Amino acid sequence: MKVILDAEQIDKTLRRLAEEIAAQTSRADDPVIIGIRSRGEILAERLAEHLSRRLNHPVPCGTLDITLYRDDLNAPQSADQPLVRTTEIGFALDDKTVILVDDVLYTGRSVRAALSALIDLGRPKAIRLAVLVEREGREFPIQADYTGYKAEVRPGQFVQVNLIESDGRDEVVVE
């Protein structure tokens, strides 16, 4: 196991992402942040705080559950019942610039599911993707607009994001 980002580096990365988003976003874009459950949700909340300070106004933040949109939901090899949780978006998406947040961009399947879920909830002006860690292995033509860290990970290795709110510590490791 190798730590690629520690707590300080995660915070610094989120601050840099907020700066990049602020530089490319105006108040007229009416930005909102939505995190993909579960670690994307936590990162989205942190990013919304940083972005709100950068833009000098509150940036709404919500949470998206993509369970029912996943393409592996009824996979024959899966014996587990999916845990469906709530989507918590207390604002309209119509004509907003949505910053969709996830922890790791790998195959693109989670993002594809999130895009389908978002479109069912409204018609955003634009959707931009922000990820803490990006690695190779895309199966869909999806790329991040804002990337915190590009990890060089060999096949068979995994990127695990641990956050204090859910895991008791902030770190990103390659296993």
**Tens digits of residue pLDDT in 146-162:** 999 999 999 889 999 99
User: Which pLDDT band holds residue 12 (cuts at 50, 70, 90)?
Assistant: very high
- Output the CA torsion 139→158→83→7 (10° steps): -120
Look up the CATH number of the domain holding residue 39: 3.40.50.2020
Asked if residue 80 belongs to a domain, the reply is no
pLDDT of residue 83: 77
Average pLDDT over residues 113-124: 96
The whole-model pTM stands at 0.93
Asked if residue 77 belongs to a domain, the reply is no
Asked if residue 10 belongs to a domain, the reply is yes
Are the C-beta atoms of residues 64 and 89 closer than 8 Å to each other? Answer: yes
Asked if residue 108 belongs to a domain, the reply is yes
Q: List the domain range (segments joined by +) for residue 12.
A: 2-71+85-174
Asked if residue 76 belongs to a domain, the reply is no
Domains contained in the chain, number: 1
Asked if residue 20 belongs to a domain, the reply is yes
Asked if residue 79 belongs to a domain, the reply is no
Are the C-beta atoms of residues 139 and 109 closer than 8 Å to each other? Answer: yes
3-state helix, strand, coil in the chain (%, to 5): 35, 25, 40
Asked if residue 38 belongs to a domain, the reply is yes
pLDDT in tens, 66-78: 998 887 765 556 5
Place of tokens 């969709």: 100
Alpha-carbon distance 52 to 91, whole Å?
A: 16
